[in-house]
Amino acid sequence: MDPRADLERTKDRSRALIKAVNAPMKAFGQVSLAVKTSEAISVKEKEYVAIGIAVVQGCDDCVGFHADILQKLGGTREEFCDVLAMAIQMGGGPVVMNAGRALEIWDGLVTA
């Protein structure tokens, strides 16, 4: 498993989709931008919400994408693990497996 290489493949697939179905992808990008402009909670907190949803849904590509953003926003492994714990509490056994993969992705994306 190489989380950095997986993240690059995810970004490549997204770029291909932008070319293939530009209007829907552009609209999706506008939704993403719009939800981040509200100031009720920080962008970092919103990214942690995205991580929780990604873990519950079992979307490793989503975990990698949002974990990378969180690390750039100063997110910590401790905060990340708190979100994983909440996802486990809400999702039960299957989420335990997803959370283990999510932690592996986080650790694999950490740059020294």
Distance in angstroms (rounded) separating the CA atoms of residues 3 and 62:
12
* CA pair distance 37, 59, nearest whole angstrom: 25
- Residue 94 belongs to domain spanning: 3-109
> Which CATH number goes with the domain that contains 15?
1.20.1290.10
| Mean pLDDT for all residues in the chain | 94
Query: Into how many domains does the chain fold?
Result: 1
Q: Is the pLDDT of residue 112 over 90?
A: no
The pLDDT of residue 12 is 96
Provide CB contacts within 8 A for 4, sequence distance 6+.
108, 109
pLDDT exceeds 90 at position 76: yes
User: What's the pLDDT band for 1 if we cut at 50, 70, 90?
Assistant: confident
